[in-house]
């Protein structure tokens, strides 16, 4: 390779640093951070291509031990950070292929990928990879939107459609899909109803609050059981006060304290992959969104470490 | 009219865009957004003159359907946006007249105005208009301050006095005035007591939390009944974490989730007008304050739509 | 049309306001502002989709008369603002077609379009329209980059290639193309040389300063003469201190005072179209970039007015 | 006095700190800094009420010696900072009286006031005070606008009219008024011509550059001679890249280096007062506008020190 | 003293203004605000040296009366603000001595100091002063970190160690130390366990929430009783949404409403001193962190006023 | 090594990424980037510890070829980036030793270090290393301050003293020291005179402008000749409009265009080291300061490449 890496060899929005300064390779790795800086499928604000960089930078202040779960997640999983996939902003399909390939290679080695999006469309690439290795998977989906809109001005692939595309492609076990935290204004009632018609479980913010997340998650645990399970977390699940740096904000969400309590209770699933999407650093002047994202990555890794243990 | 509209024909802080891109006219309109970009009556930070513009811009990401109330508020009310009143920053009284006139015209046609302030003094103009059409009205007032201070350095008309002036002018039915969310340090105990002496119901943040908003609102519903009712919402009711872009912040308020729950429970009143005041875009770098404001406008419109239905 | 305009009827990044509050239609219009909020072809920072909105907002403080040129450009040209083209972020080619159509319609009516980009790839759409109406045109191109790179990760259509594509498509008269202000680091010397091999005149920042812009422009005037001429202005021509809100900044540019002097000297060309591209509002906290852009639009309109007069 | 100073005893936008931590009183003071935090007369952006505070804070990094003029201006003039006038945002006329009184008291004691605005209308108060003590004065006026518009929506007192009002009130010697740096779009040619018809010398940015400031100032020195002279500096004289934090920006101004060279050449005038207006801290995220303002105050004080010496 | 105060006489980061514009001296003062702008002991972000200035500025909007406690805290305690200690950024030990001296002098006069940090290491200086006057004291410590790490790259004095140093120096009664709100990732379990081994009571955020703060504080009240008690408040106790402007943020904290409720319940202790540390203004673009800090100072003063009463 | 790198193994402000994504090792390297994130010696604003990270991030948009010098500087020098020295914020002397060691090792191998500060005191460490390898060196010093103040509150080692300390330690050939761009207010005339008394050549901004930089540099070239030469560049040399993100700004500096012209003319010196100091990312919201810094590093590397060639 020729140095320096000119932007025509690797896009200039791709990071060189790593999450918590992890190495790119380690023996017996069980978890791998992978950047997916693709944001062209966004419909409103753009800039999630800078999220992997920002989240890694925010991770510098995290410490290795998780005091609630009592694990050293990155040590116990020999976690690595393989850097960013060289996505191509102007070509959705080639970018999906590149991301699917990167995630798929990890999965084939038994490594759990933790994707740093990117807009939410990147999850489709991960689910394609997952389905090839594990067959249709269960999905735990935190978000304020169902992302099951069909098309956007006739375009099928955008950040509002990954979970209808995944359904069409048979990547998911619909009854084992839980969409958690849905809220906000809609085009019409069908926006949510169509998701239920796909067979998905839609839990709105109101329902989550009224029933109590422990009860909802207990039901989810019963239904999903040991099915290989992917967890996708759209940061706009959280209230804008705690996560202002995202693209399609919905006021009225849960706080970061509530969010962490929920995520920390999600032990016992058979996780085969994670991602965290829709962090937009240009809209995050205090960097609290990136820090929350980095903390959630620490938690996701802990969920894997607990399972290995 | 001569184009372009030079700033000496219409002030340069007046918007041309509209809320959710509503038209300026429609048959059988029942709701009208109206900008009231007057902020000269503020005592500390200024800049609410840019709020109508910012809230309209934030409204671009809202969708037409309200999933909690199950209405399409803007369709069902044939809502319009009549633009901004051409207020004059250096002349409080002429500005009040212009705003009163604009709001009054709407009311006379049976259209419910939703004013986008401006500082809180603009509510006085709306209440003057309302009283002319409906007689003294009931008032649901969300705020961290009672705004019943008498004078500010001998000036009677400022953003801390609209509700003592409205009382003096007989615009309100005092026993049907509810000031909700009052908190923060005071000049002296009288700041709140004087409001009670006017006959108003003052519900502090602590009281609201301790009694539960459902109970407080139930009482309010009983007392106000079918009386024509104006709802004024000062964004500083909400905690600064959720609404940093305002002029006289008080820490320790409710979150946006709690706030939306409260507002969404306020069905069944005989609304004749609304306003949302004290958003200051220059202090809102993440624009979450404007988005919360736009969302509340969506909710206010829904409250009208529900009534019509 | 159904109101409000839901984001699925018109993208939520499209403006409703207008430049200097111009109307959308007028008799005998000779100039039309048209928003081209397409930014998916950018390679690094994104967000130019919000530029039309921001530039229009900045235009509110401009006055109608141009004291250097002694014209009322918007009156004398009966200028209009036709709003934004409903581009589709996820589809470059359909977006180009929509923009070409909008610009072409204006040109066919003898109206000079002034496009508000968007990333620099939008110019290709305008040049396609121009060539259909006028045949191959001359080009005055202010920029710090030649934008004649062939492909970006094998993609042919991106914001670094419009002027090689335009060449291939025969939209330009190569010897009448002037690229002015080129500077900054390169992949290799060919980045600039290839532009010269296309037959273009490349004037670097250093050459412009050493020769004096009056001399360079005099030569340009001689060569271009009366040929129908398009002027495209990438805001990164200007130094980042005066235009921080753009995507691929190059330090070491001209100031806004120098830039205005240059642009104001460009009288006497047979302008058939203009655009101003690569303003990125999310990176423009003080809004001085948008204000400079709005001022340049005022100047471009004046150049048309002078010609009509 | 009762402590703490509640906002109803002194407005909360009034500073307690002082410029370069000067004392409020000293024997034989020849210069006094005085805050004039009045901004209600502004027509667009507001917030200059916070300028005295911000400029004082920025002054903390200045050192006492001026190496170009070779003076210790604050020592040699026994400079003091008398704090802010308690202006009343909602009452222009009472505010003018209070400011005139504060400035007049200083002038009567032979102290040269340096006012920290505030919007440009505060200069009228200072000129009233000056004319009472010295008779009509000469004026050196740096600005991008002439501020001789008659009315704003029929209001006579606003930040665009101080120099027509001053003319009407006979506060100036018109032939000894120099308006320097005028630029930007206009309502009509009369905006500048009317100023010349008042007898003022209007030097546009272009003229200043073409003639050379030394030549312009030499002529000014000849005409003004020993006449008591007031220097008013609107920060929007400077280019927005160097002074983004102001209310009605005009691109295309001089840099801060050029500006300091001009101001430093203005020795030899019989200064009786100064002010620096239109700094808007809420629009100055990097605080470079306040720092430039503070540096200019250091220079103004030096000009007085040089005269005393 | 020679004026102006050049930065070589008093550091340029020291304030001249005062909290709520309090005087520097008053008869029978019982509370004194004192700035401790020392931040060199921080391990990550720096800038707390500007906190005293920013908190004082934020205090301008507070009013004198505390409506929950029904006191005028600053009147009833004759509170003063003695300005900032002239700390030396490059010398930790001399800075500690200067701060200890300033705080000690107040304590000897029976005045309760309220320190405005500065990083958390400044508390060591206050505790040294307190122990000299009162013997080992009780400590109520709000924080997300225990700050009992031993060394940082072999350095013993830094903002992560004040409470292990205080223990070694015998400044505290360990069983009467309560560390409240601890959360976040750790180096290893010992980070918290070692604090317990010192004899301290460590209450994590989870424990505080699960047990209820009233119960925790009741126990604390029983244990501490009348022991002279110091309250130290690290602003990172609060969630980043409410206090983004700090150096080592931990997501998942309490809101400002919850925080105020806790602090307001802490009546009945024998307070001998307070401080509020780790506010970093450069990371607080909306200034809500400084406002929360200023409000807490108002509350701390009220706790003293209640005791005097 | 154990992963992740916890902040107690390497400080959390140390970068993992690299400049233009250079490798950490290469055969025959002639240039090495080295981060020196030490900022405790600053007297006012702090935060330069984040500069290496920010400059590396900004470097991502640079391309490998330098079109003015016609070199591929990073290829031709086999440039590497060895990451950040693990400095200790609380210990100036240990930090100097660590930096001196890192820089010294490079110099001994014949590699030219390019240090990314850090405050200006880090240059002392580099000069100590240089003098050990090369004996006393020549110095080209761009800055608005001479940094030859003796002590700061009795402390000898701070960012205002490196060049008096270097003189005392015999690290420089005084007659071959050029301090270029000095400007701004002073404590007293001696601030500059004392530098001249040390034998240094002090060129103020005014002198540089009046004489023309070509003439000044020609003289400098004659005097320095082939002496091993260190170039230190304090970003506050440049005007705040082009470099707002620094700690002790002085208005009235050169633009970035002028600055690049100067630096690009500095061919022919026998460079043994460079550094670029005092970039403060927390004060650089538009990141133009970091981009200018990164561009200058590209230029410095080119100056080495030209010499090798």
Residue-wise pLDDT tens digits, E169-227: 999 999 999 999 999 999 888 889 999 999 999 999 999 999 999 999 999 999 999 99
List, in order, residues 6 or more apart from A36 with CB less than 8 Å away: A52, A84, A85, A87, A99, A115, A116, A117, A118, A122, A125, A126, A275
Q: In this structure, is residue B22 part of a structural domain?
A: no
Residue E4 forms part of a structural domain: no
pLDDT tens, position by position, A11-43: 888 766 899 999 999 999 999 999 999 999 999
Give B186→chain E minimum CA distance, Å.
Answer: 5
Identify whether F2 is part of a domain: no
Convert E5-31 to b/e letters by CB count within 10 Å (16 or more is b).
bbbbebbbbbbbbbbbbbbeeeeebbb
In a domain, C195, yes or no: yes
What's the average model confidence in pLDDT over F259-285? 97
Tell me which chain E residues have a C-beta less than 8 angstroms from the C-beta of D53.
57
**D47, D185, D279: which to substitute to probe chain C, counting the most C Cβ within 10 Å?**
D185
Integer Cα distance of D255 and D233 in angstroms = 15
Q: Please give the mean pLDDT across all residues of chain D.
A: 95
The rounded distance, in Å, linking the Cα atoms of D252 and D50 is 26
The rounded distance, in Å, linking the Cα atoms of B46 and D45 is 9
CATH number for the domain that contains residue A293: 3.40.800.10
Instruction: Please state the separation of Cα E288 from the chain's center in Å.
Output: 18
Give chain F's mean pLDDT: 95
Chain C residues with CB-CB distance to B16 below 8 A: 16-18, 21, 56
Q: Is residue C228 part of a domain?
A: yes
Q: Tell whether the model's pLDDT for residue F4 goes beyond 90.
A: no
Inspect the interface and report whether the beta carbons of E298 and B185 lie closer than 8 Å: yes
Instruction: Answer whether residue F231 shows pLDDT above 70.
Output: yes
Q: What mean pLDDT comes out for the span D198-215? A: 97
Rounded CA-CA distance F202/F179 in Å is 5
Residue of A nearest to F15 (CA): A17
**CA nearest to A259 within chain E:** E252
Which C residues in the span 156-185 are in contact with F, Cβ-Cβ below 8 Å? 183-185
Cβ separation C12–A157 shorter than 8 A: no
F309 pLDDT exceeds 90?
Answer: no
Chain D residues touching residue C70 (CB < 8 angstroms): 189
Whether residue A265 lies within 8 A of chain E, CB to CB, comes out as no
Handedness of CA F151, F155, F156, F159 (dihedral sign): negative
The answer to whether B194 faces chain D, any CB pair under 8 Å, is no
Query: Backbone phi, then psi, for A43, in 5-degree steps?
Result: -100, -20
Average pLDDT over residues F39-48: 94
A190 touches C at CB < 8 Å: no
* B188 at E interface, C-beta within 8 A: yes
Mean pLDDT of E26-40: 96
DSSP secondary structure string for all residues of F260-294: HHHHHT-TT-EEEEEEEE-B-GGG-TT-HHHHHHH
- Signed CA dihedral, E96, E98, E99, E103: sign only: positive
* Residue A7 clears pLDDT 90, i.e. is over it: no
C152 pLDDT more than 90 = no
Quick one: pLDDT band at residue E1, thresholds 50, 70, 90?
very low
A110 has a chain C CB within 8 A of its CB: no
- Tokens at residue D193, please? 């011509």
Who wins on pLDDT, D191 or D216?
A: D216
pLDDT of residue E17: 84
F7 found inside a domain: no
Q: In this predicted complex, what is the ipTM?
A: 0.95
Q: How far apart are CA F52 and CA F86, in angstroms?
A: 12
CB within 8 Å: C64 and D251: no
Token look-up 């047979």 returns: C270
- Is residue C53 a part of any domain in this protein? yes
Which sign, positive or negative, has the C-alpha torsion D246, D248, D253, D254? negative
Task: Work out the minimum CA distance from A42 to partner chain C, whole angstroms.
Answer: 8
Beta carbons of F91 and E155 less than 8 Å apart: yes
In Å, how far is A7's CA from the nearest CA of chain F?
7
- B111 pLDDT tier (thresholds 50, 70, 90): very high
Residue D1: pLDDT band (50, 70, 90) is: very low
Mean pLDDT, range F25-52, rounded to an integer: 95
| Chains touching E by CB (3 or more pairs below 8 Å) | A, B, D, F
C210 to chain F: which residues are within 8 Å by CB? none
Question: How high is the mean pLDDT of chain E?
Answer: 95
C4 to B15: CB separation less than 8 angstroms, yes or no: no
Average pLDDT over residues E69-91: 95
pLDDT of residue D9: 75
Q: What is the pLDDT of residue F11?
A: 81
What's the mean pLDDT in E21-36? 95
Cα dihedral F222, F223, F228, F233, rounded to 10, equals -90
CA distances from C306 to B303, C72, C218, C271, D184 (A): 54, 10, 18, 11, 18
Cβ atoms of C192 and C182 within 8 Å: the answer is yes
Indicate the pLDDT class of residue F7, thresholds 50, 70 and 90. confident
Q: d(Cα D89, Cα D98) in Å, to the nearest integer? A: 12
**pLDDT band with cut points at 50, 70 and 90 for residue F2:** low
Residue C248 has pLDDT above 60, yes or no: yes
Q: Rounded mean pLDDT of D8-21?
A: 82
pLDDT value, residue B90 = 84
Say if A190 falls within a structural domain: yes
Task: Report the mean per-residue pLDDT for chain A.
Answer: 95
- pLDDT bin (cut points 50, 70, 90) of residue F1 is very low
What confidence tens digit (pLDDT) does each residue in C44-61 have?
999 999 999 999 999 999
What's the total number of domains in chain E? 1
Q: Is D225 on the interface with E (CB under 8 A)?
A: no
- DSSP letters for D54-98: HHHHHHTT--SBBTTTTB-HHHHTT-EEEEE----TT-HHHHHHH
Q: Is A83 left (phi over 0), alpha (psi -120 to 50) or beta?
A: left
Pairing of strands E112-117, E270-277: parallel
Which 113-142 residues of chain B touch chain D by CB within 8 A?
none
Give the structural domain span for E166. 19-308
* Bridge partners, residue E65, by sequence: B186
Euclidean distance between CA atoms D97 and D87, whole angstroms: 9
Taking 70 as the threshold, does the pLDDT of residue A1 lie above it? no
Q: What is the pLDDT of residue C2?
A: 60
Residue in C closest to B23 by C-alpha: C3
* CB atoms C185 and F67 under 8 Å: yes
- Give residue D309's pLDDT band: very low, low, confident or very high (50, 70, 90): confident
Gap from A34 CA to chain E (nearest CA, Å): 22
């Amino acid at each position: 390779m020729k140095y320096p890496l000119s932007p025509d060899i690797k896009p200039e929005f791709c990071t060189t640093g790593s999450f918590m300064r992890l190495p790119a390779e380690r023996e017996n790795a069980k978890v791998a951070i992978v950047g997916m800086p693709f944001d062209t499928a966004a419909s409103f604000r753009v800039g999630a291509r800078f999220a992997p960089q920002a989240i890694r930078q925010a991770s510098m202040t995290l410490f290795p031990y998780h005091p609630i779960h009592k694990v050293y997640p990155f040590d116990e999983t020999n976690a690595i950070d393989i850097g960013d996939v060289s996505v191509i902003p102007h070509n959705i399909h080639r970018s999906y292929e590149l991301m699917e390939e990167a995630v798929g290679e990890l999965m084939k080695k038994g490594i759990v990928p933790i994707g740093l999006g990117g807009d939410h469309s990147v999850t489709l690439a991960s689910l394609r990879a997952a389905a090839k290795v594990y067959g249709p998977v269960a999905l735990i989906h935190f978000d304020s939107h169902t992302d099951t809109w069909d098309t956007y001005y006739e375009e099928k692939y955008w950040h509002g459609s990954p979970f209808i595309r995944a359904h069409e492609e048979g990547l998911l076990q619909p009854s084992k899909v839980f969409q958690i935290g849905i809220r906000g204004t809609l085009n019409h009632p069908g926006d949510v109803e169509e998701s239920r018609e796909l067979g998905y479980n839609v839990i709105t913010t109101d329902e989550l609050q009224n029933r109590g997340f422990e009860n909802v998650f207990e039901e989810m645990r019963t239904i999903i059981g040991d099915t290989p399970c992917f967890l996708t977390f759209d940061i706009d699940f959280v209230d804008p006060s705690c996560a202002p740096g995202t693209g399609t904000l919905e006021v009225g969400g849960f706080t970061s304290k509530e969010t962490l309590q929920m995520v920390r209770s999600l032990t016992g699933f058979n996780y085969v992959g994670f991602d965290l999407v829709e962090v937009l650093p240009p809209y995050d002047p205090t960097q609290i969104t990136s820090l929350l994202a980095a903390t959630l990555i620490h938690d996701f890794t802990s969920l894997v470490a607990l399972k290995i243990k």
